[in-house]
Structure 1
Amino acid sequence: MRDLDYLKLLSQKYPNSRKAGAEIINLRAICALPKGTEYFFSDLHGEDRSFVHLLRSSSGIIRAKITETFGDMLSSQEQLDLANLIYYPDRIISNARQTGVDNAEWQKITIFRLVQIVKCVGRKYTRSKVRKKMPEDYAYAIDELLHNDAKDVDKKQYYQEIINGIIDVDAGDEFITALCGLIQNLTIDSLHIIGDIFDRGPHADVIMNELMNFHDVDIQWGNHDVSWMGAACGNTACIANVLRIATSYNSFDVLEDGYGINLRPLSMFAASTYADDPCDNFKIHQLDENKYDSVEPELAAKMCKAISIIQFKLEGQLIMQHPEYEMEDRLLLNNIDYDKHTVTIDGATYKLKDWNFPTVDPLHPYNLTIEEGELIHTLKMSFIHSPLLHKHIRFIYSHGAMYKICNNNLLYHGCIPMNNDGSFVEISNADGSFSGRSLMDYLNQMCIDAYFLDEVTDPVRKRKAVDLMWYLWCGKNSPLFGKDKITTFEHYFVDDKAACKETFNAYYSYTDNKEYVEKILSEFGLGCAGSHIINGHVPVEVKNGESPVKADGKLYVIDGGLSKAYHEKTGIAGYTLICNSHHLALAVHRSFTPGQEYTPKIVSTEEFEKRVMVRDTDVGRELKKQIDDLKELMEAYKNGLIKEK
């Protein structure tokens, strides 16, 4: 018999055998349903329009469901129009009003078609689950229309009056919008974001708002995410890094309009300090136009250089304070010959393509000037006191982690650091030695401590954790970075491409080897049969013949990526991995162009031997535990240990 106190607590919800038995019947029935469809995205990089479209279109699945439902009954253009209505109901409804069509007739036809799509996408769920996803005001009407029996002549007028009533009270547009939202909600049962929501693209803040409104989402932190998390914790090196990338990629809107970060002190400092410096090597990547905060390219380049120099100084300070990082090779400001305009890197000497360092003291290159110190303090206060930023960061913490084990799949952003011989890299510090899963668990806790640990209670650990956030961004053994070094300085100051080479961790040389992938799965307690590793971080160069499916289908790399900065290199715009009850499939994205059809190509990569039901999932295992608990409760009622009410 289970703990009697627990059963007594359970009896408050199920006060008699009849109610407990009814719940067992319900849970057993749910276990016999097909599993919901999981969607896996990675490396969103602030590309809000592309991601929002993929989310609302379910990466092309809604378009496929329309074809499945109507076939030849609707033309290709009619199907596309219906799909766009589901994705963007407000915009399409507004356009329909302006075309002069009979609005009432259009609404009747549209409601009928949308109800058919809801039936298609909702047929593997319980009526209860579908109803819970309906907007409360229209739940009754939607539920009745969904279960309309065309053969039931007695209710024919009844169903017609539901629709007539909706239109007569001028609720047609709202009802259509509600149906569109329900279709989107039902198509994606759960959403997994495998890292790198931030940087490069125009609006990571918009993406975060979308994720916070989604019904079931989890996030595996990426190195770009952890840089923003570190910035929110007050890590000044992370703050400088975030600002450097934003100024480099013309992402001023997300900072000032999105998060309220005041960039005027930086622009004034940069304009004054680098007044006569063209800062040619820091010119922005003009990928997107800013709507609210347009900055002249010349000033943006000066801002980028100013914050980059500050970043190199702050990073140098961290490296010297933490010898355990083993990153002394990144102390490059003291390797510069300021008279000869050269820099020595890994024993080789290179000519600098920019040797204007007005704020660097050659004798003390990592000391901030008084003005730089005041500037970074002001910027730090702006990050610390941004309400929306902290709302988003708290969500990333509450719904995220370094990794996740879900339905026999292992999800993480970058890698599990490995040595050249295939063993796991071991990291040792005052807290102990960590490798493989224990390393991921340790770093996960340190990330939590960086944000939530009370500085007054444990200032030493708090500072250590906050500093480590920068290491996770670019440290040589960071699972989120996965390279031997980051060559930001070289890209700005050295022309020789050999100096900019970044070598991937040995993990990436083993990703095609099934034996080593299964070794990692075993490290995390997963069996080999039916398990996969799903990660992102590294763009898949499809145009060069690279495949995202590796190790005989045991590992998926789903970063293509969405970022426009990668499209020329990869030849595509990323992937969505889709896992339903029948198969695993990849949706291959194309570059997003507003107003044009953007339906990804969907390719099945693994057919399951038998259909996966809810009972085969993590949710099913939890339901089984609940059933066992309820059986114990019924036994306690039967034996008189607990009195029924």
Structure 2
Amino acid sequence: MDAKYLDLLAQKYGSEEKVANEIINLEAILDLPKGTEHFVSDLHGEYHAFQHVLRNGSGNVKMKIQDLFQEELDEHKINEFATLIYYPEEKLKLVKSHFSQREDLYAWYEDTISRMLKLITHASSKYTRSKLRKALPEQFAYITEELLYKKEGYEDKTAYYTKILERLMSLGQADKLIIGLAYTTQRLVVDHLHVVGDIFDRGPDPDKIMDTLIDYHSVDIQWGNHDVLWVGAYAGSKVCLANIIRICARYNNLDIIEDVYGINLRPLLNIAEKYYSENPPFRPKRMAGDSLTEQEELQITKIHQAISIIQFKLESPIIKRRECLNMESRLLLEKVDYDKQEVTLQAGTYALKDTCFATIDPEDPAALLEEEQQVIDKLLFSFQHSEKLIRHMDFLMKKGSLYRRYNGNLLIHGCIPLEEDGTMKAMDIEGTSYAGRELLDVFEHYVRYAYAHPEETDDFATDMVWYLWTGENSSLFGKREMTTFERYFIQEKETHKERKNPYYHLREDVGVCRQLLEDFGLDPDQGRIINGHTPVKEIDGEDPIKAEGKMIVIDGGFSKAYQSTTGIAGYTLLYNSYGMQLVAHQHFDSQEDVLMQEADVHSVKRLVNEELERKKVRETNTGRKLQQEIEGLHNLLQYRYMK
């Protein structure tokens, strides 16, 4: 045992008794039931739906209320109480408006606070008192602890507890206590949150999701392809930045760029107004509630074209200077006959429609106009100097990774590239061949290097981050090629199809999933792969639980853009000491609808597995860390205090 480490432990605990006390405490924690893990994926800026799922713990809050009060409360009262836990500030206003007599309101306060304390006791049953204390509302921690640990049947303190409640109400503090207890309950029902990729793009509020995650008590993130696109832009990739702006224009979300992150789009609009006009394929997608004027829609349509052409131009030099990426087939600007307005692809020659090539020189199609170069340079500078964006990207890097091994399971957003026969697909990178876990580790190395060196804009690492967005062997993209150009300009839909990596049909095979788990150092008998990225089309009968439960796909369509094809509004997964449950969610309309209708939006819970014995903390990642701490403390006792 390292002497410096023992010195640090000795400074922290200070005496033999304190060391022994900590060993006893940690060893006792190992035998507690494991906490509940909550898995979400592909949030795509849908903040309000995500918030609701977070607040109700994918139905976990309601389940605990039913367990505790099903004999005492009818269904209406249970729903009313659950809604109070989800949205305490708003629900309190509605409830209080129904009371005309102060005595009736005080009686409601007393009953409600009593039930909330019982619920917290129930929800915290597998936590230490210390952990519960940290979750209590700070301003009421002392009072709450007194009320939580009161003993029924002890008459000596009855007046004491009654006086606490009376004074809380008479001093106008009851609302604040109820709000604090509601958020404590939300925190207790989920011990740890996993976000299995794609926080950004398509939806309107990824920034609000990031702010929520930054404040969340325990979270990790597996980067999605859209998340890495934003990381790449900060890391200096102009083509990643162009993709971000193009997607925001496509989904009418440019205010994220301009209003939320403070990046001036006026120079881009000036180019757009100068060179582009109305063009139907570039009109922004409209969602329910959108209120665009014709002028605003036309401006976005022009911006969409301007940034798309800049993106296509920026792709070419990367493809040419990085032969190992094997993307020569995507040099499409060079494959266009600008006189005939047609393009030659591997499958044949196709006529082009709705083109917008005003800034393209047929002799050098990838060359940026000087004004285009100036615009993308200014945008990159603004992107790399946005204080709020830097804070969000720093958190994404701190809490994120390409994959995570957690409590015996493999969490990954996209795929592990495979050959058709199920073997790991290899990629040659700078003279070395990588496959499987090694390939993903190399990808992550380049992401982290590029992020740490944002001043290097055309280096290999930054180009590799872009490759993760669009490359054939990318574990995040997982398709042969990205057909953005074809979807804009070619009518024949067979050219739009993006052929998936064999992983996406081989993941139905138990043997393949076991092989993947072994490659990542996990037990194939106990482990599972938790996947996002590809929306499960439940409406067509697709099953999110694959390979006899070894593979669970939880992208069910949080993004409104997918819900018409999936038939639901997302999956989430719960994993507690009893096993796993997959939750399918109905469409989330609004917080107001939940408050007025008092109805959750989760629908069906499906049991993935049931543990024969409750899983304990000692069997988790946290347990392994605690065991290392215990070993260090035993060494401290042996070498410092028992000589």
TM-score, normalisation: structure 2: 0.95
Match of 2:615 among 612, 616, 622: 612
| Selected match of 2:564 from 562, 568, 571 | 568
What is the Cα deviation at residue 251 of structure 1?
Answer: 1.0
SS in 1 for 2:353: coil
Partner residue of 1:166? 168
User: Residue 526 of structure 1: which of 510, 522, 528 is its match?
Assistant: 522
Query: Per-residue displacement from partner, 1:506-529 (whole Å, max 9, x unpaired)?
Result: 111210111111111111111212
Distance change >3 Å, CA 604–CA 28, structure 1 → 2: same
In the alignment, which of 484, 487, 494 is matched to residue 498 of structure 1? 494
Superposition deviation, residue 364 in structure 1? 0.9
After alignment, is 68-77 or 297-306 more displaced?
A: 68-77
| Structure 2 residue matching 1:598: 3-state secondary structure | coil
Per-residue displacement from partner, 1:486-543 (whole Å, max 9, x unpaired)? 0111111111110011111111121011111111111111121211111100111111
Query: Equivalent residue of 1:552, what SS?
Result: helix
Most deviating of 290-299 and 624-633: 290-299
Does the CA-based 8 Å contact 1:581-1:613 persist in structure 2? yes
Distance 1:294 1:264, change over 3 A: farther
Q: How does 1:78-157 map to 2 (within 5 A)?
A: 78-101=77-100, 102=102, 103-157=105-159
Cα distance change, pair 4–302 in 1 and its aligned pair in 2 (3 A): closer
Q: Structure 1 CA distance, aligned partners of 2:447 and 2:293? A: 32
Q: Give yes or no for contact 1:338–1:355 (8 Å, CA) kept in 2.
A: no
Q: 1:67 to 1:268 in 2, by over 3 A?
A: same
Q: Distance in 1 between matches of 2:571 and 2:355?
A: 42
Q: Which residue identity lines up with residue 53 of structure 2 in the other structure?
A: L
Contact 1:220 1:404 in 2 (8 A): yes
**Which residue does the alignment assign to 1:643?**
none
Paired residues of 1:560 and 1:570 also in contact (CA < 8 A): yes
- 2:34 is aligned to 35
- Give 1:628's aligned amino acid: E
1:73-92 CA-to-partner distances (Å, cap 9, x unmatched) read: 22323222222221122222
Q: Is the 8 A contact 1:427 1:439 kept in 2?
A: yes
Q: Aligned partners of 1:199 and 1:483: how far apart in 2?
A: 19
1:139 deviates by 0.8
Instruction: Give the match for residue 242 of structure 1.
Output: 244
Contact 1:420 1:506 in 2 (8 A): yes
**Residue number in structure 2 paired with 1:213:** 215
* Aligned pairs for 1:176-215 within 5 A: 176-215=178-217
- Are the structure 2 counterparts of residues 598 and 299 from structure 1 closer, same or farther at C-alpha, using a change threshold of 3 Å? farther
Aligned to 2:49: 50
Matches within 5 A, 1:418-457: 418-430=418-430, 432-453=432-453, 455=455
1:580 corresponds to which residue? 576
Q: How big is each residue's C-alpha offset from its partner over 1:125-171, in whole Å with a ceiling of 9 and x where there is no partner?
A: 11111011113221111112222222222222221112112122221
2:472 paired with 1:476: yes
* 3-state SS, counterpart of residue 38 of structure 2: strand
CA gap 1:454/1:383 in 2 versus in 1, 3 angstroms: closer
CA distance in 1, matches of 2:114, 2:80: 15
1:6 deviates by 2.8
Contact kept in structure 2, 1:253 and 1:290, CA below 8 Å: no
Greater shift, 436-445 or 248-257, is seen at: 248-257
* Aligned amino acid, residue 39 of structure 1: H
Q: How many angstroms does 1:213 deviate by?
A: 0.5
Cα distance, 1:72 vs structure 2: 4.2
Which position in structure 1 is the counterpart of 2:356?
356
State the alpha-carbon separation in 2 of the partners of residues 324 and 124 from structure 1. 52
Q: 1:639 to 1:317 in 2, by over 3 A?
A: same
**Cα distance between partner residues in 2 of 1:443 and 1:320:** 20
Q: How far apart are 1:593 and its partner, in Å?
A: 0.9
Maintained 8 Å contact 1:341/1:351: yes
1:273-332 deviation per Cα after TM superposition (whole angstroms, max 9, x unaligned): 21xx32101111112657999972222111111111111111122212211111111111
Aligned 8 A contact 1:47 1:203 in 2: yes
Deviations 1:545-565 (A, max 9, x none): 111111111111111120011
Query: 1:296–1:454: structure 2 CA closer, same or farther, 3 Å change rule?
Result: closer
Aligned-pair CA distance for 1:386: 0.8
> What TM-score do you get using the length of structure 1 for normalisation?
0.95
Aligned pair in 2 of structure 1 residues 288, 447: CA closer, same or farther (>3 Å)? Answer: farther
Q: Which residue is 2:302 aligned to?
A: 302
The CA distance in 1 between the partners of 2:133 and 2:494, in whole Å, is 60
The answer to whether residue 623 in structure 2 is matched with residue 627 in structure 1 is no
**SS of corresponding position for 2:354:** coil
Q: Match for 2:139: what amino acid?
A: D
What is the 5 A alignment of 1:595-606? 595-596=593-594, 597-600=599-602, 601-606=604-609
Mean alpha-carbon deviation: is it higher for 32-41 or for 418-427? Answer: 418-427
Q: Which of 177, 182, 206 does residue 175 from structure 1 map onto? A: 177
Determine if contact 2:408/2:526 at 8 Å carries over to the other structure: yes
Q: Distance in 1 between matches of 2:442 and 2:147?
A: 52
Give, in whole Å, the separation in 2 of the partners of 1:253 and 1:606.
43
